[in-house]
Structure 1
Amino acid sequence: MNTPTAPFTFVDLFAGVGGFHAALGAVGGECVYAVEKDAEAAAVYERNWGMAAHGDIVNDTESTMRVPEHDVLAAGFPCQPFSKSGLQRGMDEARGTLFWNILRILEARRPTVVLLENVRNIYGPRHKHEWEVIVRSLRELGYQVASRPIVFSPHLLPPERGGRPQIRDRVFIMATYVGTSSSFVDVEPSVPHLPVDGWSPSEWDLAEHLPIQPDRELENQLHLNLGPAERTWVEAWNDFVVTLRAAGVKKLPGFPVWVDAFVHESHLVVSPGTPAWKAAFLRKNAAFYTEHEELIESWLSRWNYLRDFPPSRRKFEWQAQNAESLVDTVMHLRPSGLRVKQATYVPALVAITQTSILGDRLRRLSPREAARLQGLPEWFDFCNQPDSATYKQLGNGVNVGAAYHVFREHVLRSLDAVRRRAPRLAQAVVQSEMSPDSAIERYREPHREVILRRRRSDAVQRVAG
């Protein structure tokens, strides 16, 4: 099953730009099949990993099984709804979803370890049925899997273990092949949702741990800077914070501040039928306005009562604790308002235009900084594609350090079962480093010439074009 050149092999399904490839490559694995339907992401994958990701998981698994033998199956699979009819079970119930194609591969190839990743909500109450189908289907194929998921985020890992200053809770489903005689024995999740090695996430510092790119490296990327309207929004809310701080207000509101809800408590009217959560916010805003009416009115008058601001910019969410101004924070322009956090770790990268804004630089995170947040190495190259495509790919991707940690810890926990079927895989994990960072650099070496040759060819074609 193993190739002569690597201790184990893996397949990379729904591969994106290759977060799983980086993590498993750092352990010593060799990718033997990759598939990604997004053409731009597939091009980035091929450019950096030296192999194509242009297969079709439906065509390659249904009429003929074209996915080769492998030791580890990795997939950031789409969460599609399964039938709730209750008339079918296991694999048949997942038919018509892409998860069913994963099950077809497992049925045909029986890799030793399965590493799946999805958004946290897949374990939420609205997806209880889908979760039960996933667990039951894996167990029916002989895989031991916990009935509760692993939930993990890179900000829980210290820097020396591949952590990154990004809160990105994701569900990981780890399964080990043990045969159907043992697969229905429930086990605990192999990784807890806790900081590792005593690390405190409050110790993250973006300038030090990311690190932030110097301004001189971004001279040709002026589009990262905030536009005039965005600067006005930030300046107005910065004035709000500074005004309250100067007046001795030590604790800013922990609830969403809505300018349109500023009214004296004596004039507050909550309409019948108003949802309880909204009624609570209205009362809190009224109480806050009443307590600081003079300060707030003075601030509002300086900014023309935010009349020219769109509705979402008339809202403010403070999560920066004792920061004195927005200069000391990281900001997000969200539909729910301007959200402000401490400059420790940042919110999760998302596949839409909500890239974090650095308060001390009044610019968005650069694509390189976003790539660092996902644990991708410095040599990782997005070519000359639009930044919007890069942000989308990174927002959709798996964090390398989190995936590496979860995979490594799971294999170490189920080492006996792994060793029986894939001894070289077990040995590779036992000998692996605590962090993937330096190992990714070494992994690149055998592929360097292929990658550089492809990049030189791309450059020639651009010049010729």
Structure 2
Amino acid sequence: MSSHAFRFVDLFAGVGGFHAALSAYGGECVYAVEIDKAAAAVYKRNWGLDPYGDITEDANDDVMNVPPHDVLVAGFPCQPFSKSGAQKGMDEARGTLYWHILKIIEERKPKIVLLENVRNLAGPRHMHEWQVIIETLREQGYRVSETPAIFSPHLLSPKRGGRPQVRERVFITATHNPSGLGDGLPVPPVALPSDRIDGWEPKEEWHLEDLLDDSHNIPGCELSASERLWITAWNEWVETWYEQTDRRRPPGVPIWADSWTDFDHVVSHFGLVPDYKDLLEWDPSLPQWKAGHLAKNYALYAVNRDWIDDWTAKYGVYTDAFPASRRKLEWQAQDTPRLWDTVMHFRPSGIRAKAPTYLPALVAITQTSIVGPRERRLSPRETARLQGLPDWYDFGDQRPAATYKQMGNGVNVAAVWHILREHVKRDEDVLKRTAAGRRIAEAVLAAPLSPDETLANMKPREDRPASRS
């Protein structure tokens, strides 16, 4: 007989963020599936279970390869449902990946379902899809809140396993309760983005130093000569700005070097430095936001022209050394004294600089954050820490780009840990009506507030099955 508190299945498993949280809670993974071969290899390397496969083959009208389980977790891709006609429920979900999750739920009736997706799933553009998910879960006998549970790991303090990453995700948490369903009461969400847990104030208390390695030289994370030029040039601009303005922070509007090349022509036309209304009257096709940015940049340049012209000439800002996207600085770093002291992102819209407190969400398809104090990119290991994975977690010899992609697609371990705990607390009375529910509740509520120490002491176990059944 298994010594584990409960059994779980891990759908769209990635490299195992859900697995890390649920196994630390005492659960046993009895099935996992992940279609990406590289991610599946990392999962197998660390958890001893091969998830490689296609959920559309394992869960459909004819085939059910998913074993019985107590908890189902899935970080599923968001696919739009059809809005044609008046169809609802299972028929409407058919053809989407969510439908395959629903088939498993229909057949196996796990006690708890925990789904995770991007925040936009609960936004106005996807309200129809959201409603279909809630309604279909209720049709299967689940107690589930219609209000989205939105949460980010930066809202948790380190003692709860939190991380300095703003990664808002929507969680759908449901408990099988066919006889009582909602028990006659509104079902509250288990988390909200306004939550302040233990009085933790993220903006005041986080700093990236909590997870960074000391090294400035990590292979694959170094900056190119061009990148160093761009940062060094804009760093001098910021430092000069502080000197010339009696330490006033740089403006929040994008600082746009290309706008200054039109300054003489524009002032000649108007006879003065124009405001955004003047610009809109001159060119009605100009978007209002762009007119506002241009007007503020003209005003900024008018006062600081002498040293700005020296700066552009010194660094060749209007030469091929500076692509158009590097001639714009988006300063969001408040009173940080130097650009090299910020966290930077090279974006198509410009160089964005933020205070070195916490990072925006890791994203699989954009460039990795540049940590100014380290003069390099965030390392693959540091991105794994941001997602709550322990330092023993092994990515093998895969390229850093693959690890960055996997972390950008992954789920944060502490967020899952917190959401499951809050869900169990909310539905404790319902869970304790069954033996399986009692086992889950006892394991979750007896666990520490943070998964970090438990995970740090875990190692991949050789006795786990080598492949999916």
Assess same fold via TM > 0.5: yes
Contact 2:231 2:340 survives alignment (8 Å)? no
Specify the code of the residue in structure 1 equivalent to 2:313. Answer: S
5+ residue gaps in structure 2? Answer: none
Inter-partner Cα distance in structure 1 for 2:126 and 2:349: 25
Residues 1:329 and 2:350 are matched in the alignment: no
Q: What is the aligned length?
A: 444
Instruction: State the 1:293 CA deviation.
Output: 2.6
Match of 2:128 in 1: 129
Contact 2:343 2:369 survives alignment (8 Å)? yes
1:252 to 238, 250, 253: 250
Inter-partner Cα distance in structure 1 for 2:317 and 2:368: 27
1:402 to 398, 415, 437: 415
**CA distance 1:175–1:299, change in 2 (3 Å):** same
2:319 to 307, 310, 317: 307
Q: Deviations for 1:79-137, whole angstroms, at most 9, x for unmatched residues?
A: 00100114210121111000001111111111111111111111122111111111111
Specify the code of the residue in structure 1 equivalent to 2:79. Answer: Q
Residues 1:200 and 2:201 are matched in the alignment: yes
Match of 2:302 in 1: 290
Q: Matched residue of 1:224: which SS?
A: coil
Instruction: State the 1:39 CA deviation.
Output: 0.1
Deviates more, 1:18-27 or 1:294-303: 294-303
2:451 to 425, 436, 439: 436
Instruction: State the 1:347 CA deviation.
Output: 1.5
1:364 to 377, 381, 390: 377
Residues 1:233 and 2:248 are matched in the alignment: no
Q: Deviations for 1:255-289, whole angstroms, at most 9, x for unmatched residues?
A: 22222223546365442222222222222222222
Contact 2:148 2:189 survives alignment (8 Å)? yes
Match of 2:189 in 1: 189
Specify the code of the residue in structure 1 equivalent to 2:17. Answer: G
Q: Deviations for 1:177-221, whole angstroms, at most 9, x for unmatched residues?
A: 1116524854221122223211121211222x11x2122xx75x4
Match of 1:424 in 2: 439
Inter-partner Cα distance in structure 2 for 1:57 and 1:398: 19
Inter-partner Cα distance in structure 1 for 2:304 and 2:463: 65
Match of 2:16 in 1: 18
Inter-partner Cα distance in structure 2 for 1:426 and 1:96: 34
Which residues of 2 match residues 30-41 of structure 1 at below 5 A? 30-41=28-39
Instruction: State the 1:175 CA deviation.
Output: 1.2
Which residues of 2 match residues 3-402 of structure 1 at below 5 A? 4-62=2-60, 63-179=62-178, 181-183=180-182, 186-193=186-193, 194-201=195-202, 202-207=204-209, 209-210=210-211, 212-215=212-215, 221-247=218-244, 248-262=246-260, 263-264=262-263, 266=272, 269-270=279-280, 271-308=283-320, 309-402=322-415
Q: Deviations for 1:349-389, whole angstroms, at most 9, x for unmatched residues?
A: 11024111111221001111111111000100000000000
**CA distance 1:115–1:395, change in 2 (3 Å):** same
Inter-partner Cα distance in structure 2 for 1:161 and 1:17: 22
Specify the code of the residue in structure 1 equivalent to 2:197. Answer: V
Inter-partner Cα distance in structure 2 for 1:188 and 1:51: 35
5+ residue gaps in structure 1? Answer: 455-465
Inter-partner Cα distance in structure 2 for 1:418 and 1:394: 33
Q: Deviations for 1:238-258, whole angstroms, at most 9, x for unmatched residues?
A: 011011011124121112222
Q: Deviations for 1:429-456, whole angstroms, at most 9, x for unmatched residues?
A: 1111100011123443xx43458x99xx
Inter-partner Cα distance in structure 2 for 1:409 and 1:79: 24
Specify the code of the residue in structure 1 equivalent to 2:25. Answer: V
Which residues of 2 match residues 435-454 of structure 1 at below 5 A? 435-444=450-459, 447-450=460-463
Specify the code of the residue in structure 2 equivalent to 1:168. Answer: R
Instruction: State the 1:297 CA deviation.
Output: 2.3
Instruction: State the 1:147 CA deviation.
Output: 1.4
Instruction: State the 1:61 CA deviation.
Output: 1.1
Specify the code of the residue in structure 2 equivalent to 1:191. Answer: A
Inter-partner Cα distance in structure 2 for 1:161 and 1:118: 22
Instruction: State the 1:59 CA deviation.
Output: 1.2
Q: Matched residue of 2:444: which SS?
A: helix
Deviates more, 1:9-18 or 1:195-204: 195-204
Specify the code of the residue in structure 1 equivalent to 2:316. Answer: N
Match of 1:461 in 2: none
Inter-partner Cα distance in structure 1 for 2:306 and 2:186: 61
Contact 2:391 2:456 survives alignment (8 Å)? no
Contact 1:257 1:316 survives alignment (8 Å)? yes
Inter-partner Cα distance in structure 1 for 2:259 and 2:185: 54
Specify the code of the residue in structure 1 equivalent to 2:339. Answer: L
Inter-partner Cα distance in structure 1 for 2:76 and 2:185: 25
Q: Matched residue of 1:30: which SS?
A: strand
Match of 1:459 in 2: none
Q: Matched residue of 1:222: which SS?
A: coil
Contact 1:22 1:376 survives alignment (8 Å)? yes
Specify the code of the residue in structure 1 equivalent to 2:325. Answer: S
Provide TM-score, normalisation by structure 2: 0.90
Specify the code of the residue in structure 2 equivalent to 1:253. Answer: P
**CA distance 1:65–1:366, change in 2 (3 Å):** same
Q: Matched residue of 1:87: which SS?
A: coil
Q: Matched residue of 1:246: which SS?
A: helix
Deviates more, 1:420-429 or 1:279-288: 279-288
Specify the code of the residue in structure 2 equivalent to 1:206. Answer: L
Contact 1:144 1:186 survives alignment (8 Å)? no
Contact 1:13 1:36 survives alignment (8 Å)? yes
Inter-partner Cα distance in structure 2 for 1:12 and 1:155: 24
Contact 2:141 2:176 survives alignment (8 Å)? yes
Inter-partner Cα distance in structure 2 for 1:350 and 1:305: 29
Contact 1:243 1:299 survives alignment (8 Å)? no
